[in-house]
Structures are given as C-alpha cells and as structure tokens.
Amino acid sequence: MKVLSIREPYASLIKEKKKRIETRSWKTSYRGELYIHASLAKLAKDAKENKELMELIKDIPLNYGKIICKCRLVDCVYMTKEFVEEIKKNKQEYLCGDYREGRYAWILEDVEPLKEMIDAKGKLSIWTYDETKD
C-alpha cells in the first residue's frame, strides 16, 4: 500500500474530512489509493499557537505513528496566484495548509478512516508499507 506521512494535526484533519488538500513543496505523478500516516513528530509550535487551527481539532484525538485513513490522490496542482486566491475563499482549507505560489496542492477524495489503525514508523515522500516487515 502507498502511504504519505503527515504531521499532526493535519493527518487527523484529513481523517476527519476537515482537510481535503495536502500542500507540499514537491509534485507527484502518483494518482490512486493512498494511505495517510500520522507521523511521530509532535505538534509544531506554530500549529499550537494557531488558535483557529486548535479550535478545529479540540475534540479530535491525535494519533502519532499510525496509518489512520485511506483516500484517493486525484490530482497535484501547481499553485498559482489565482489558485491561492481561490483557496483563500475556503477559510478552513486555507488554514490547514501552506498555500504559497510555487508549491503543490495534492487533491484528496474519498477519505475513509481505518477501522483499525496500523502502527508504522513512517518515511519521507510517498512510501510503500509492507505488512510483512512491520
């Protein structure tokens, strides 16, 4: 299974369907089923200090070191000034990502929380989880 590791609270915001775009500095040609892994990294200081973001996750348990949901990666969009201006109209989505020109918006659809989360260490980039090795 293909997996993307994402820091909390962003991984859980995807799982809870409060975030549908993952922002990255790099593009991918991969399309298809993708599992979301909540990385082991603790909440970043800037996330903790963002009151609006903390309000979005106040009733959501955060998960660290676990594959928590699956989705479909359907597109990878280069962020132009126009794209960023359009995203700004959706305050919640804009709050949940790094929307700067020149970055990439990974469009996620069909998010399904896993019934049983999977313990995993995580890796950089899109990686493959091998159930026989963990």
Q: Where are the domains of the chain?
A: 2-127
Question: Across residues 92-119, what is the average pLDDT?
Answer: 96
CATH superfamily of 2-127: Hypothetical protein. (2.30.130.30)
Tally: H helices and E strands in the chain: 5, 6
Residue 19 predicted with pLDDT over 60: yes
Rounded to whole angstroms, how far apart are CA atoms 71 and 77? 17
Contact between 13 and 108 (Cβ < 8 Å): no
Residue 49 predicted with pLDDT over 90: no
- pLDDT: which is higher, 109 or 41: 109
Report yes or no on whether pTM surpasses 0.85: yes
Determine the residue type at 126: I
Residue 48: pLDDT band (50, 70, 90) is confident
Percent of the chain whose predicted confidence (pLDDT) is above 90: 79
Q: Give which of 33, 46, 15, 45 is closest to 113, Cα–Cα.
A: 15
53-72 per-position pLDDT tens digit: 889 888 888 999 999 999 99
